[in-house]
Amino acid sequence: MGQGAGRGLSRGRSPLAGRAGRRAALGGAFPSAVRTGFSTLGHFLSHSGAFIRQRPHPSPEGAAIPAAAEVSRLQSALAETGRGGGSAGVWGLAGTWPVSVCLVLSSSFSGHFQWLLYHRAVPSLIQEGPQCGLVALWMAGSLLNLSQDVSLERIVRVALERGYTAQGEMFSAADMAQLAEEVFQCRAELLSGGLEGENRGRILRHLTAGCPLLLPYDEDSNHEPCRRRGYKAHWAVVSGLLLGLRAGTLSPACQEDGEISGLFRPGPACPPPAPEDVLEIYLLSKQGKSWRPQLWRYRQAHESNAQLTDLCPKRAGDGKAYVVPAGGVRAGLCGRAVLLHPRTAQSALPPPAGPPPAAER
């Protein structure tokens, strides 16, 4: 894409709208095909394909998943693998906990950490073309209880009509915030300056309240954040947190999981942990190139987000027109993120999803 790409692009009908329509035709705003869940955590784990490094891969029927594994191997064991199986992955569907939460508390950390998971499941949708931002926005809408009647096709159509995109790309977080407010009637808060500093506390409070975060980052081959100067710019929706807390600081209102020792979920009256008690942070994220969510180290996501500065030369030279804000990728995405809030009290969010109580399993 050359420097001339911008708001003056034609707003005629794009092939994107047709593709979005075929996607939405799977079942309305949230196709049932992407909302399938499992009745119990054990059933979920046995069908997940997750495994602990240096342990045998479970059989198709599901092998026993250990209740504790080494945290030092957490990130490598969470490498995303796509639908075909393979190495360890995280797979969370509606009403279930992510498989990755079985990777908690090694013996070396057992006296120092307690793990608290905030998780709200989002539907999966695989993007067609450079729709990552629009697909992430569609997935995020499910957490606002406002998007039942909003299809991906409508999101694409509005983005085209407003001049935010030409091919499905979203190189401006400010445009993403405006688009979200229009299609979902929510309140969008645009962050700048990266994920650390004052923004860190705002993001943690936002996610522990059950609200979604839209995050631009550079995508590695396994969909995790990397640093490619913006050449692999991508969008994800962050729907939860896995927090490693200092031992003895967990609120009594938190409930320990009935199947995974050392893992806790927030109870109805559970206050967010104090910032000084949070020793480890993982973001529970999903993006449009995989059905599976992942856990990303917070610092890893911050570093990727903070170095989005350049448009990929291959994309710039592909002969297609793209919408890039004045100042380029650096001005549009670098250090930026979007917090989505329900606009009214009538849209109050339910508490973060967790596994059903032991009596219901």
Tens of pLDDT along 198-249? 999 999 999 999 999 999 999 999 999 999 999 999 999 999 999 999 888 9
Residue 344, pLDDT score: 63
Residue 257, pLDDT score: 82
Residue 135 near residue 125, CB atoms below 8 Å: yes
User: Looking at residue 71, what DSSP letter applies?
Assistant: G
pLDDT at 22 exceeding the cut of 60: no
The CATH T-level fold of domain 15-360 is Cathepsin B; Chain A (3.90.70)
Residue 354, pLDDT score: 43
Min mean pLDDT across 109-118, 266-275, 344-353 is at: 344-353
Catalytic residue among 132, 186, 254, 270: 132
> Band of the pLDDT at 9, cuts 50, 70, 90?
very low
Q: Which residue has the higher pLDDT, 112 or 186?
A: 186
pLDDT at 64 exceeding the cut of 90: no
What does the mean pLDDT of the chain come to?
Answer: 73
Q: Span 154-179, mean pLDDT? A: 97
Q: Which residue has the higher pLDDT, 75 or 18?
A: 18
CB atoms within 10 A of CB 54: 9
**Residue 110 tokens, joined:** 């057992």
pLDDT at 197 exceeding the cut of 80: yes
Provide the percentage of residues in the chain whose pLDDT is more than 70: 63
Please confirm, yes or no, whether 132 is among the known catalytic residues: yes
Residue 108, pLDDT score: 35
Q: Span 143-168, mean pLDDT? A: 90
Q: Give the DSSP per-residue string, 170-235.
A: ---HHHHHHHHHHHH--EEEEE-S-SSTHHHHHHHHHHHTT--EEEEEEE-TTSSEE-STTTTEEE
pLDDT at 5 exceeding the cut of 60: no
Interval 276-297: pLDDT, tens: 999 999 999 999 999 989 999 9
Interval 299-327: pLDDT, tens: 999 999 999 999 999 999 999 999 999 99
Q: Span 84-103, mean pLDDT? A: 35
Q: Which residue has the higher pLDDT, 119 or 32?
A: 119
Q: Span 173-197, mean pLDDT? A: 97
Residue 8 near residue 322, CB atoms below 8 Å: no
Q: Which residue has the higher pLDDT, 28 or 138?
A: 138
Determine how β-strand 233-246 pairs with β-strand 255-256: unpaired
pLDDT at 269 exceeding the cut of 90: no
- Would you list the domain boundaries of the chain? 15-360
Residue 268, pLDDT score: 86
Q: Which residue has the higher pLDDT, 104 or 84?
A: 104
Residue 148, pLDDT score: 63
